[in-house]
Amino acid sequence: MNGQSIKLATMRICRFILLLATIATLSAGATAQTTERVLIVGDSWAELTWVYGSVDKALSYAGHGDKIAVGDVTAIGGSTAEQWKTSAYQALIQQELTAYPSIDVIHLNVGGNDFLGAWNTSMSAAQEQALFQQIALDIEVLVQFVHSVDPNIQIVLNGYDYVNLEEMRWQDPFTFLMWILLGGPSPAQINTALFQSSATIFNHLSSDPTVHFLNHAGLMHWAYGYPSRGLDPRTTPLPGNAHNGYRPPLGGDPTKPGPHTLMLDGIHFGQEGYDAIALHCTARFYDAWFDAHP
């Protein structure tokens, strides 16, 4: 990156830090007129982002309150990349892009359920890579479909932050069962494997200039810390992204789970978590995109 680009990226992260300080009081705020610009697509992380209004709030706080997201049809908890490559699911995207022709960005969370449904600690490196590559191929089919509808749509491809099976399994039977089915992974094992899956997807699609991979691995550690595990807020690295060559690839402390105080269960954050991710997306992509494409 050149000096000006680094300066702009730094300014946006500073804005993100200031916004995060007020995250508990975020509200979408009323505007006189709004235009649908973002379609939220994918799994339960997409669904909760939509339900909490996280993208709208982040855009509003960044000065883009005239732009809103939609996701009531296409943010589907439990959905997989394998499903989103089928005509039935793609028809939902087609329906929404037809209904809202002003949409120019897709906010995509997908692949996590494919990972959780197949990955296990007993897998060899070759088996892991085969799984991650299949997920990437399925997402590529979805991306190709979107571009067949509109080749200019930008796709914000979101990675996942650290889950918490270690502590939440004792509070939630679903999480305990998942931990058993996954082979009883340590935080480091599942954090690393989940990121490697996301990285495989990104590497597979990296030649497409309309796909923007946003790495959130360790974001909650950086933003909120994990005081009970010895982490104070903003004392660990932010996850690397395009502005710094994705270094470090794993932010926070990848040997620790996501902060349990932010979790609904072992996999999902509550509102604070998805608001923070949406602000991160805004600092890394949406602010610059909507400044350039008002």
Q: 192-243, pLDDT tens digit by residue?
A: 999 999 999 999 999 999 999 999 999 999 999 999 899 999 999 999 999 9
8 pLDDT band, cuts 50/70/90, is low
Distance of CA 99 to the CA centre of its chain: 25
Q: Give how far Cα 15 sits from Cα of 8, 21, 279, Å.
A: 11, 10, 9
Q: 90-106, pLDDT tens digit by residue?
A: 999 999 999 999 999 99
**Contact present, 9 and 282 (Cβ < 8 Å):** no
* Closest alpha carbon to 252 in 201, 198, 179, 191: 191
State the Cα–Cα distance between residues 271 and 52, nearest whole angstrom. 6
Which pTM was predicted? 0.91
292 pLDDT band, cuts 50/70/90, is very high
Q: Give how far Cα 189 sits from Cα of 137, 230, 276, Å.
A: 24, 20, 24
7 pLDDT band, cuts 50/70/90, is very low
Fold of the domain built from segment(s) 3-13+27-292: Rossmann fold (3.40.50)
State the Cα–Cα distance between residues 147 and 206, nearest whole angstrom. 15
Q: At residue 154, what are phi and psi to the nearest 5 degrees?
A: -90, 140
State the Cα–Cα distance between residues 279 and 11, nearest whole angstrom. 14
Q: Give how far Cα 133 sits from Cα of 98, 138, 155, 194, 199, Å.
A: 31, 9, 19, 13, 10
Q: 40-92, pLDDT tens digit by residue?
A: 999 999 999 999 999 999 999 999 999 999 999 999 999 999 999 999 999 99
State the Cα–Cα distance between residues 192 and 217, nearest whole angstrom. 9
In terms of Cβ atoms closer than 10 Å to its own Cβ (0-12, 13-18, 19+), residue 92 is middle
Kindly state the helix (H) or strand (E) to which residue 175 belongs, with its residue range.
Answer: helix 173-181
DSSP 36: E
* Closest alpha carbon to 164 in 149, 151, 179, 150: 179
Q: Which residues of 22-48 are buried (b: 16+ CB within 10 A; e: fewer)?
A: ebeebebeeeeeeebbbbbbbbbbbbb
**Contact present, 259 and 225 (Cβ < 8 Å):** yes
